[in-house]
Chain A
């Protein structure tokens, strides 16, 4: 555990981002939907370009986060223990977080309107455009979480600390219902996100997770590299 925790201790924030700060590139959308990227004139690229022009008006991007000191990383149960909460992260994510001195708990949303964007097209009987609008909305919140990762990385680097990748409940064996614990650690009504009993965040285009902070933690090249579970359904994620 590091000394002089109080400077860090008070990191609790909610920020709004402009779409332009995180605007996903057309190529990133194509990659997310597994579509070949040599489609200069095709409808898929055209439609994505058009939709990206409108996405800014639809998005209302908010990120909330709070930093907690890690009291203990418990090997037997593969749990990370914070003040009042025990996060049962399970082996794969535990292995990445157990050296962390702090955990940054976060939630981010692309907003209610962009979350309903695809429905407009479904109602018009255009599932094709609906699918692409949905993909852009998803990518928007992922880029917002990327933005947070970069920013926290820079802030912590100034204090001589490293960060891990971000990890979310529902991935790598960490039960999705553990989101209930994350939200109890975030300010009331954080970013306007509501969590249902089934651990679904509303608005839909939202993500939650943690980032480990510490002297000896590190980022891995890509998430699936930390795991060798070949038959994992999560590997299907782009």
Chain B
């Protein structure tokens, strides 16, 4: 079984979706994430164990390589594709409540900004790490964050912006959130931001890429909130 979980982790890391997938070229014809996940479940591995000992291990490995500059966004996205193929088999267990997510993150690109490629990536990584994500899309203002927070009172918040003009709108959102819910942590990211800026607007932290963000909230809030 160990062997199967190891192989599955490699399929996730390298983005081997299923047997028919032509990528990566050197794994053609072999079982992929989809088949191996099925086999593991059929052999009695629990969904939680599968997620933690295999799928997340693979996602984490590619994530670490990405954060270190050794892999690139497409690699991350291909891995996510394989992850999704595995999740198809796991879905029934999640909805039946057997497996639990670590907590909820409300994510959105802020008022005035329509860039969402970066935010979508953060979403994918968080989901891959076992978080539930409420995606507010783009051009999201304080009201939308507050409304989402009302529905998910224990959620964390992540804000994204790609222009120096729109990142200024983050301050209003942070203020509104803190006024209504002082204990809700708010994190920020996006190309023109910095830790310095995050401190200035009263946010709880800046992360240059999704991996360090996921690691941080895992350590600090994972499983405590729901």
Measuring CB to CB, which residues of chain A are less than 8 angstroms from any residue of chain B? 33-36, 41-44, 46, 118, 122, 125-128, 130-132, 134, 170, 175-177, 196-200, 202, 204, 233, 236
Contacts and interface: CB of A to CB of B under 8 A. Distances in A.
Interface residues of B, number: 31
Interface of B: 15, 22-25, 72-74, 77-78, 80-81, 84, 111-117, 120-121, 124, 163-166, 169, 191-192, 194
Contact of B120 (A35, A44, A127, A175): A127
A181 to B, nearest CB: 14
B78 A43 contact: yes
Contacts of B74: 33, 35, 44, 128, 131-132
A125 B120 CA distance: 11
Nearest to B21: A43
A176 B164 contact: yes
Give the one of B114, B165, B166 with max A CB within 10 A: B165
Contact of A200 (B15, B72, B80, B113): B113
Nearest to B25: A41
B27 to A, nearest CB: 12
Given A43-B23, A176-B164, 5 more contacts: A44-B78, A127-B77, A130-B120, A132-B74, A233-B194
A197 B164 contact: no
Contacts of A202: 114
B77 A131 contact: yes
A200 B166 contact: yes
B117 A233 contact: no
Nearest to B79: A128
A128 B81 contact: yes
B194 A34 contact: no
